[in-house]
């Protein structure tokens, strides 16, 4: 009996010891102290932070404002926009107070620290130029605010004691062309593992051979230690083990395993199937480390005159460019906000994302894997030649290689990534030095990841034709320059062209200008852009110019529209006007509310659902009898328009102009209040769908609609509640601009609001805001307690509204 007891205790001890060997990852989310205005030299390990602000990380210190035209006011000529003369730019970086120095401080303990352990400190992004101190000693620094990096802090930490962590950040003016954010805006993690373990980002999974019956999964695993063995198990999406492999053949510091998966499920935007590889590192029978890596089984190929294929099927990129801010919550990463963006883009029919012009968050890539988006992961907006005085050009020669290495190693197992970008519109496109830099960067990507091609977003296309710059790229990416596509195709040897950045059409949600006509860089007294979608920038074009290339040229492999959502900063065409502090390029506005242009792209891209959308709104008091054109964006080829029941005729898409090929337009409609109705027709002229809008009466009540009514009680989940003002019949009041007030009760808090108005100077975090074109969005955030949440919205002269949410 005693023998059995001893055996049981030995077995229990072995299991506890084995479990204790696994890597521990601790997210340093709470307990942070923050102070702005403290320079690096002011740091002493004992300084008093009792009056510092308590914050959670991720954190963006600048998003709380206020907006100020003096912030980062630049006198410059924007070369990328074709400007020759320097002028004052006041909203280029969002007019938010991101410039300056700041400190973050926290304390942490290291569990089970002993001589056989090592401790890593991982930052997924810090804006910018972070210098990191542990227990008063500097452990390292990293210049690029968009990069992921980590330090081995084993020699700086103490066991059985609180360890002090301090991070100094410095943001210079004239360091960005858009709002960069400020602070520890992505996650910070403490990683405790054995010295004999799998290296950080040491797993690299590829699928070099794929058929219907069998996939070869290649797993390379870099480790620290000797005389070890590795077992890798592959599990399907339901957690069932489908393959396993064991190896003790160590080549240098790397294992390489080839594992057969039978009857594989392939990853694609339509079927984003994910497997998990569990790699276990053993010393004898003792588990030293274990990592789980999600991956997808898929093949990609770029071929001359055929273009891009995924899993053997030719397809085109229906993509958008995205800057990294999340509108009213700034750059602080939030998975719920990212998921909402991608949900909206799924409805659009979008299948690809370009991270512009910087390295993406890990959360964004995880969601793209899950939800099915192909990804163009970009690295830099600058190389050695500057666009802005204090940009990445200061660090390029010293840091570019290590920044690319970290980008590739941290993200290469994401099946969503199908290509890399080493730069965007870099001034280095001119001259021999630029060609050498392009080649050097591309070779770094190839060395670190031989499975994916590399592109650069080129705007100086004539120069890259002559210099050889464009010819050496795996994928020639053209930013705009639609008039040069044919010439580029003839001169470049690759046999295809990618629209790496397209359109830059500008509009303001719900704003319409007359007369309705094409216009370049048009400006108005209210600093808005017309949502008839006929206005664009001096260097760019209308959507149809790209549609024609995509549809008529098989060697054009797709496009990435500038941009999926409005973003903070770069308020073209009002760079020189105040107040104007965010962009007009988005298919959706800064609040995530779709503009009319969203439906123009949806009518082409969403092949699973039909689109039928009318513009403009039909509230034009004072325009009675005046010409008020009506556009319809639809996936149907023809439709009939009715004003108050009277037919205005049938329009059919045709090739007489680029616009008539993709839009239905009634240019001579005279405005009269009432009902505007469109009836879509099939090829036989039969009515198959209809849509109508009505002239609204006076604003009467508030209407609330949440994207999600159930939240996770984790202190960071969000519900986005669209707030509209309607008349007594429920019709949207599209010109309403009333001031509304918000309050949240229960187990949630008010986080922010946004109305999508690029000229609004109202601060997002204050619980009040004006409507813009009859709408705005309120963000409600969960706490760490489960329970009921209620949002109340009130406005003078309006019937108030409440909505019930739940946190679990």
Q: What is the mean pLDDT of residues 100-126?
A: 95
* CATH number of the domain to which 233 belongs: 2.60.40.10
| Residue 637 shares a structural domain with residue 668 | yes
How many percent of the chain have pLDDT more than 90?
A: 92
Last residue of a domain, one of 143, 172, 194: 194
pLDDT of residue 43: 57
Q: Considering the domain boundaries, does residue 15 fall inside one?
A: no
pLDDT of residue 676: 98
pLDDT of residue 13: 37
Residue 494's domain spans which residues?
A: 300-504+539-585
Q: How crowded is residue 564: how many other Cβ atoms within 10 Å of its Cβ?
A: 28
Q: How crowded is residue 159: how many other Cβ atoms within 10 Å of its Cβ?
A: 13
Q: Considering the domain boundaries, does residue 84 fall inside one?
A: no
| Residue 391 shares a structural domain with residue 452 | yes
| Residue 445 shares a structural domain with residue 491 | yes
pLDDT of residue 42: 61
Report the chain's mean pLDDT, rounded to a whole number.
95
| Residue 177 shares a structural domain with residue 220 | no
| Residue 226 shares a structural domain with residue 327 | no
Q: How crowded is residue 286: how many other Cβ atoms within 10 Å of its Cβ?
A: 14
SS3 420: strand
Q: pLDDT at residue 177 above 80?
A: yes
Q: Which two tokens stand for residue 54?
A: 């308590």
| Residue 125 shares a structural domain with residue 256 | no
Q: pLDDT band for 46, please (50, 70, 90 cuts).
A: low
Q: Work out how many domains the chain is built from and give that number.
A: 5
Q: Considering the domain boundaries, does residue 57 fall inside one?
A: yes
Q: Is 551 left (phi over 0), alpha (psi -120 to 50) or beta?
A: alpha
Please give the Cα distance from 777 to 280 (Å, whole number). Answer: 46
pLDDT tens-place string over residues 215-251: 999 999 999 999 999 999 999 999 999 999 999 999 9
Q: 375 φ, ψ to 5°?
A: -135, 135
| Residue 330 shares a structural domain with residue 407 | yes
Q: pLDDT at residue 258 above 80?
A: yes
Percentages helix, strand, coil for the chain (3-state, rounded to 5) are 15, 40, 45
Question: What are the C-alpha distances in Å from 28 to residues 203, 377, 407, 458?
Answer: 24, 26, 22, 40
Q: Considering the domain boundaries, does residue 338 fall inside one?
A: yes
Strand partners, 282: 229, 287
Please give the Cα distance from 495 to 414 (Å, whole number). Answer: 27
Residue 446 half-sphere exposure, CB side, CA atoms within 13 Å? Answer: 11
Q: How crowded is residue 531: how many other Cβ atoms within 10 Å of its Cβ?
A: 24
| Residue 455 shares a structural domain with residue 556 | yes
Q: pLDDT at residue 48 above 90?
A: no
| Residue 493 shares a structural domain with residue 408 | yes
Last residue of a domain, one of 179, 194, 209: 194
CA dihedral 424, 425, 426, 431 (to 10 degrees): 130
Last residue of a domain, one of 194, 214, 248: 194
Give pTM, 2 decimals.
0.96
> Which parts of 596-719 fold into alpha helices (H)?
596-605, 658-662
Q: pLDDT at residue 2 above 50?
A: no
Query: Do residues 349 and 601 lie in contact, with contact meaning Cβ atoms separated by under 8 Å?
Result: yes
Listed range (74-83, 571-580, 657-666, 747-756) with the worst mean pLDDT: 74-83
CA dihedral 612, 616, 617, 622 (to 10 degrees): -150
Question: What are the C-alpha distances in Å from 586 to residues 400, 597, 615?
Answer: 30, 9, 17
Please give the Cα distance from 559 to 360 (Å, whole number). Answer: 19
| Residue 291 shares a structural domain with residue 318 | no
Q: CA 572: distance to chain centroid?
A: 20
| Residue 129 shares a structural domain with residue 230 | no
Q: Considering the domain boundaries, does residue 408 fall inside one?
A: yes
Q: Considering the domain boundaries, does residue 526 fall inside one?
A: no
Q: Considering the domain boundaries, does residue 632 fall inside one?
A: yes
SS3 789: strand
| Residue 37 shares a structural domain with residue 132 | yes
Q: Considering the domain boundaries, does residue 687 fall inside one?
A: yes
* Residues taking part in catalysis: 425, 501
* CATH number of the domain to which 113 belongs: 2.60.120.260
Q: pLDDT band for 620, please (50, 70, 90 cuts).
A: very high
- Nearest-CA neighbor of 375 among 425, 332, 405, 412? 412
């Amino acid at each position: 009996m005693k023998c059995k007891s001893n055996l049981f205790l030995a077995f229990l001890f072995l299991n506890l010891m084995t479990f204790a060997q696994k890597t521990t990852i601790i997210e340093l989310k709470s307990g942070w102290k923050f102070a702005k205005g403290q320079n690096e030299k002011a740091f002493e390990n004992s300084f008093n932070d009792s009056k510092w602000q308590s914050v959670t990380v991720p954190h963006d210190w600048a998003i709380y404002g206020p907006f100020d035209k003096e912030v980062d006011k630049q006198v410059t000529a924007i070369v990328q926009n074709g400007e020759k003369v320097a002028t004052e730019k006041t909203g280029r970086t969002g007019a938010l107070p991101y410039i300056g120095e700041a400190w973050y401080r926290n304390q942490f303990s290291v569990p089970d620290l002993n001589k056989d352990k090592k401790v890593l400190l991982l930052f997924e992004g810090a804006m910018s130029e972070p210098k990191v101190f542990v227990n008063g000693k500097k452990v390292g620094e990293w210049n690029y605010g968009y990069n992921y990096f980590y330090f081995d802090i084993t020699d700086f930490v103490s066991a059985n004691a609180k360890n002090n962590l301090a991070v100094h950040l410095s943001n210079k003016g004239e360091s960005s062309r858009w709002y960069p954010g400020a602070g520890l805006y992505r996650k910070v993690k403490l990683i405790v593992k054995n010295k004999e373990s799998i290296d950080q980002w040491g797993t690299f999974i590829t699928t070099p051979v794929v058929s219907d019956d069998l996939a070869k999964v290649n797993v390379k695993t870099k480790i620290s230690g000797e005389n070890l063995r590795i077992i890798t198990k592959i599990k399907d999406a339901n957690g069932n083990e489908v393959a396993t492999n064991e190896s003790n053949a160590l080549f240098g510091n790397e294992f390489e395993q080839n594992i057969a998966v039978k009857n594989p499920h392939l990853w694609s935007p339509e079927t984003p199937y994910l497997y998990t590889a569990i790699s276990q590192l053993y010393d004898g029978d003792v588990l030293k480390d274990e990592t789980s890596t999600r991956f997808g089984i898929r093949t990609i190929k770029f071929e001359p005159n055929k273009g891009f294929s995924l899993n053997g099927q030719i397809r085109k990129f229906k993509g958008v460019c995205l800057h990294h801010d999340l509108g009213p919550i700034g750059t602080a990463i939030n998975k719920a906000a990212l998921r909402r963006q991608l949900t909206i883009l799924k409805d659009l029919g979008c299948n690809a994302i370009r991270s512009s012009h910087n390295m993406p968050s890990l959360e964004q890539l995880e969601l793209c894997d899950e939800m099915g988006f192909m990804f163009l992961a970009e690295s830099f907006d600058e190389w050695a030649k500057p666009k802005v005085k204090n940009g990445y050009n200061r660090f390029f020669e010293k840091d570019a290689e290590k920044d690319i290495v970290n980008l590739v190693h941290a993200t290469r197992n994401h099946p969503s990534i199908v290509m890399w970008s080493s730069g965007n519109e870099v001034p280095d496109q001119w001259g021999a030095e630029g060609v050498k830099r392009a080649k050097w960067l591309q070779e770094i990507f190839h060395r670190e990841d031989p499975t994916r091609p590399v592109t650069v977003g080129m705007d100086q296309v004539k120069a890259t034709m002559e210099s050889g710059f464009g010819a050496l790229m795996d994928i020639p990416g053209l930013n705009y320059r639609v008039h040069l596509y044919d010439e580029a195709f003839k001169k470049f040897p690759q046999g295809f062209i990618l629209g790496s950045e397209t359109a830059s059409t500008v509009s303001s949600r719900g704003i319409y200008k007359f007369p309705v006509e094409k216009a370049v860089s048009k400006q108005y007294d209210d600093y808005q852009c017309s949502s008839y979608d006929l206005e664009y920038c001096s260097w760019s074009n209308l959507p149809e110019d790209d549609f024609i290339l995509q549809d008529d040229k098989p060697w054009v492999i797709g496009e990435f529209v500038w941009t999926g959502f409005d973003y903070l900063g770069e308020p073209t065409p009002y760079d020189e006007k105040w107040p104007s502090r965010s962009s007009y390029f988005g298919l959706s506005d800064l609040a995530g509310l779709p503009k009319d242009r969203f439906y123009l792209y949806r009518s082409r891209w969403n092949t699973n659902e039909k689109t039928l959308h009318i513009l403009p709104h039909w509230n034009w008091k004072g325009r009675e009898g005046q010409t008020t054109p009506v556009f319809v964006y639809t996936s149907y080829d023809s439709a009939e328009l009715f004003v108050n029941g009277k037919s205005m005729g049938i329009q059919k898409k045709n090739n007489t102009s680029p616009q008539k090929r993709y839009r239905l337009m009634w240019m001579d409609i005279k405005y009269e209040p009432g009902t505007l109705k469109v009836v879509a027709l099939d090829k036989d002229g039969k009515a198959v769908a209809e849509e109508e809008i009505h002239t609204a009466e006076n604003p009467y009540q508030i209407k609330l609609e949440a994207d999600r009514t159930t939240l996770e009680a984790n202190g960071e989940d969000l519900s986005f509640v669209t707030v509209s003002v309607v008349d007594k019949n429920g019709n949207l009041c599209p010109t309403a601009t009333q001031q509304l007030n918000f309050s949240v009760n229960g187990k949630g808090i008010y986080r922010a609001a946004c109305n999508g108005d690029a000229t609004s100077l109202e601060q997002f975090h204050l619980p009040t805001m004006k409507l813009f074109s009859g709408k705005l969005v309120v963000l409600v955030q969960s706490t760490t307690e489960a329970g009921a949440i209620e949002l109340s919205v009130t406005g003078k002269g309006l019937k108030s509204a409440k909505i019930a949410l739940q946190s679990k």
